[in-house]
Amino acid sequence: MGTDATDSAEFLSRISDQTKRMTAIVRTLLDLSRIESGALELSPEELHVADVVREAAALFTERITEKRLALAGIDGIDARVRADPVALVRILTNLLDNATRVAPEDTVIAVSTIEEDGMFSLSVQDQGPGIPSQDFDRVFERFFKSDSSRSESGTGLGLAIVKHLIQAQGGTVTVASEAGHGATFTVTLPTAP
């Protein structure tokens, strides 16, 4: 009888986990739909980029510790940008989620910034499996997962959200990668006046 109770508890736990996962996917799809349709109201303000990066990185402290990852470059960021604070945190959260998920243990995730011609660029670089060049055009599509990341968890919606949140603020997002040698995602926004 104890085995039946244990099996039932495990089965219910799996059902609960899958329900939570599906709920998260539905919420993310609704958010993406609001962003794409322009129904999401953004309130840009001047932000200190290092503070926003630290806020997003704090969400991954446990994963960074477990995988013994180093997060480099944050202390050197002294830039300000004009952006919606909630949207920018979400953008960085999605980029750092991907980077910390695919990064091998004992590697570095580098965050860097450049200011040029009234534009601000922030890059997140990992040392993961990289992305094949034929996937560059599709990596920001809904549900697309590159072959190198298919075994990893995730919905394939994070980069689509990044793309649309950046575009809604007059910016761009790009990827540079070589299969087997990591990936660098770069978001570009207007600098704060």
In the numeric block, the tokens 């402290």 are attached to: 61
Residue 88 shares a structural domain with residue 33:
no
Residue 15 shares a structural domain with residue 87:
no
Residue 179 shares a structural domain with residue 103:
yes
CA-based nearest residue to 179, from 139, 119, 120 = 139
Residue 74 shares a structural domain with residue 30:
no
> What are the pLDDT digits (tens) for 152-168?
555 667 788 888 889 88
Residue 10 shares a structural domain with residue 55:
no
Residue 74 shares a structural domain with residue 15:
no
Would you state the pLDDT for residue 96? 94
What are the DSSP calls for 133-181, one per residue? GGGTTTTTSTT---GGGTTS---S-HHHHHHHHHHHTT-EEEEEE-TTS
Q: Can you give the CATH number for the domain in which 115 is found?
A: 3.30.565.10
As a whole number of angstroms, the distance between CA 49 and CA 89 comes to 10
> What are the pLDDT digits (tens) for 10-65?
877 778 767 766 666 566 666 666 666 666 677 888 888 889 889 999 999 999 99
Res. 128: pLDDT tops 50 = yes
Residue 19 shares a structural domain with residue 88:
no
Res. 82: pLDDT tops 90 = no
User: What pTM did the predictor assign?
Assistant: 0.77
Give the rounded percent of residues in the chain with a pLDDT score beyond 90: 28
- Print the domain residue range for 3: 1-40
> Which two tokens mark 72?
């480099």
